[in-house]
Structure formats: C-alpha cells, structure tokens
C-alpha cells in the first residue's frame, strides 16, 4: 500500500485525536516501520489495519466509521496533492467514472508497484450510478469515505446504498449512488 495513505492516516489521527492518541496508537501496534512512513514508500497493508483497529479501541469509534471519516479527509488530501485529477471534471460522476481508466492509469505511471482496487460502473440514469468496488484488502468503508469526500468537494447531495457481495468482508461491494437534482 502506498505511503501517501499512511502519511495521510497519521495526519488524520493527529488532527482529529491529537498527538497523544497518535503516539499511543503507534506504540501499541507491532509495526515493522515503527510508524515511520514516507508518502512515496510502499508498506504492508497489515500495518494500517493494525493502526485502525487500535484507534477504534482507543477512541471507541467503530472501524467502519473511522475508515469513512478518514476517507473523506483523504479525498481532500489527494485533491490538494494531485489537483490534475479533478481539473478536467465538472462533477462527482465525471470523476468517479474516470477512476479506473484515467486516474489509476496515472497512479500506475507514478507507482508501477501500486496494488489498487478496481472500480467498474454502470449508469442507471443521468443521476444514478452503480459502482462496483473490488479489492483483496477489503477497504470498502474507506472507498465509501472517499466517495463522500468527492460529493462534498463538488457540493452535491447524494444517497448512497451499498451491498457487500463478499459475505461481509468488504472485498466486493456495490455502491448505488443517486444524486439529488440541483
């Protein structure tokens, strides 16, 4: 998993919960890196899972809610770091439908070793989108948060429902997205 996710997560924890919680979370985990990450590095997915589980334990906030909240903030971080990703899109659906064939293509140019989730989509109407998330990491809650961040960025109101097609593992999830008329 790319370091930008790890550095973004630590920034999120520091901002939302403070330095003491961040230090407690890191020191309570068995991390090969001891919690030192570079945004351009590549790290084991298990390290962020450990930290999220520990943060949930410390904060009393469920893992799904933490991942969604982090995903919203991660979207803002990614847009500020890579503004070209949103430069040629006018709305959330334009960006979401460009993930696989434009954004992930560019990510792979920068980070050939990146192991990215896959997304496929189907329009069910002008303001209805079916989005399929697939990843062995099972971070559908993070993807959900990124979607929420996207809708906030474009100031769009939506209704999202989801169905886990992987028996609750979050590895294959369908998001049904209905955008409210402006």
Range in 38-47, 130-139, 162-171 with the lowest mean pLDDT = 38-47
Record the pTM. 0.94
Place of tokens 């993930």: 99
Q: Enter the CATH code of domain 69-179.
A: 3.90.1520.10
Q: Give the Cβ contact number of residue 81 at 10 Å.
A: 11
Q: What is the pLDDT of residues 140-163, one digit of tens each?
A: 999 999 999 999 999 999 999 999
pLDDT at residue 182, as a whole number = 64
Place of tokens 């896959």: 118
Q: Give the Cβ contact number of residue 3 at 10 Å.
A: 16
**Average pLDDT score, the chain:** 94
Sequence ranges of the domains in the chain: 3-61, 69-179
Q: What percent of the chain is modeled with pLDDT above 70? A: 99
Place of tokens 């192991």: 115
Report how far residue 24's alpha carbon sits from residue 17's, in angstroms, rounded to the nearest whole number: 11
Mapped onto helix, strand or coil, the DSSP state of residue 127 is: coil
Q: What is the pLDDT of residues 60-98, one digit of tens each?
A: 999 999 999 999 999 999 999 888 888 878 899 999 999
């Amino acid at each position: 998993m790319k370091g930008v996710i790890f550095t973004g997560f630590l920034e999120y924890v520091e901002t939302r919960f403070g330095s003491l919680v961040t230090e407690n979370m890191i020191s309570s985990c068995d991390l090969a890196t001891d919690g030192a990450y570079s945004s351009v590095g590549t790290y084991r997915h298990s390290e962020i899972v450990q930290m999220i589980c520990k943060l949930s334990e410390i904060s009393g906030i469920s893992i799904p809610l933490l991942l969604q909240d982090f995903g919203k903030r991660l979207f803002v971080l990614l847009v500020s770091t890579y503004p070209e990703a949103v430069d040629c899109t006018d709305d959330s659906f334009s960006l979401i439908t460009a993930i696989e064939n434009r954004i992930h293509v560019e990510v792979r140019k920068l980070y050939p070793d990146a192991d990215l989730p896959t997304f496929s989509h189907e329009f069910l109407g002008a303001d209805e989108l079916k989005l399929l998330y697939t990843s062995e990491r099972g971070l559908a809650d993070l993807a959900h948060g990124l979607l929420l961040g996207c809708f906030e960025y474009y100031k769009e109101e939506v209704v999202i429902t989801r169905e886990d097609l992987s028996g609750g593992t979050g590895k294959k999830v369908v998001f049904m997205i209905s955008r409210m008329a402006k």
